[in-house]
Structure 1
Amino acid sequence: MINSHVSSFAGMPVLPFTPGMTPPDDPSAVAWRLEVEEFDADPEEFAGLVRAMLDEVPPETVRAVVVGEWGEAYERPLPVDLLVDAASRWTGLRALYLADLTYEQCEISWLNHGDVTPLLAAYPGLEVLWIRGAQGLRLEPVRHTGLRELRFESGGLPGAVVRAVGGCDLPELRRLDLWLGRADYGGDATVDDLAAVLAGERLPAVRHLAPCNAEIADAVAAAVATAPVVGRLEVLDLSMGALTDEGATALLTGQPLTHLRRLDLHHHFLSEEVAASVVAALPGVEVDVSDAQTAEEYDGRAYRFTAVGE
Structure 2
Amino acid sequence: MAEFGGLPAFDFPADDPEFSGKLPEADSVAWRIGVDTYETEKTWAEAFEQFLEAVDSTAVRALIVGSWAEIYETGPEEIFDALIAAKDRLPAMRALFVGDVVGEQCEISWIHQGEATLLLDAFPELTEFGVRGGEELRFPAVRHERLRKLTVETGGMPAEVVRGIAASDLPALTHLDLWLGTAEYGGDADIDDLAPILAGTRLPSLKHLGLRNSEIQDDICAALASAPVVVRLEVLDVSMGVLTDDGVAALLTGQPLSHLTFLDLHHNYLSDAMRTRLAEALEPAGVRLDMDPGDAESDEDEDDGTVWRFVAVGE
TM-score over 0.5 for the alignment? yes
Distance 1:262 1:24 in 2: 38
Unaligned runs of 5+ in 2: none
1:141-187 Cα distance to aligned partner (Å, 9 max, x none) = 11101111100111111111111111111111110000011110111
2:37, 2:71 within 8 Å by CA — same for their partners in 1?
A: no
Distance 2:98 2:40 in 1: 18
* Aligned twin of 2:160: 160
* Aligned twin of 1:219: 219
Please give the secondary structure, in 2, of the residue aligned with 1:33: strand
Q: CA RMSD in A?
A: 1.6
Give TM-score, length-normalised by structure 1.
0.94
Does 1:68 find its partner at 2:66? yes
1:144, 1:171 within 8 Å by CA — same for their partners in 2?
A: yes
Unaligned runs of 5+ in 1: 1-5
Please give the secondary structure, in 2, of the residue aligned with 1:91: coil
Does 1:247 find its partner at 2:247? yes
How big is the shift at 1:97? Answer: 1.2
For 2:177, give the aligned amino acid. D
Please give the secondary structure, in 1, of the residue aligned with 2:163: helix
Distance 1:208 1:265 in 2: 14
* Aligned twin of 2:292: 290
Please give the secondary structure, in 2, of the residue aligned with 1:248: helix
1:306 to 280, 303, 311: 311
1:39, 1:105 within 8 Å by CA — same for their partners in 2?
A: no
Residues 38 and 246 (structure 1), Cα distance of their counterparts in 2 relative to 1, 3 Å cut: closer
* Aligned twin of 2:81: 81
2:5 to 7, 10, 30: 10
Please give the secondary structure, in 2, of the residue aligned with 1:27: coil
Give TM-score, length-normalised by structure 2.
0.92
2:45 to 39, 44, 47: 47
How big is the shift at 1:40? Answer: 5.6
Residues 23 and 149 (structure 1), Cα distance of their counterparts in 2 relative to 1, 3 Å cut: farther
How big is the shift at 1:24? Answer: 3.6
For 1:178, give the aligned amino acid. L
Percent identity, aligned pairs only, is: 47
Distance 1:158 1:230 in 2: 24
Residues 298 and 39 (structure 1), Cα distance of their counterparts in 2 relative to 1, 3 Å cut: farther
2:27, 2:61 within 8 Å by CA — same for their partners in 1?
A: yes
1:40, 1:72 within 8 Å by CA — same for their partners in 2?
A: no
Distance 1:298 1:179 in 2: 27
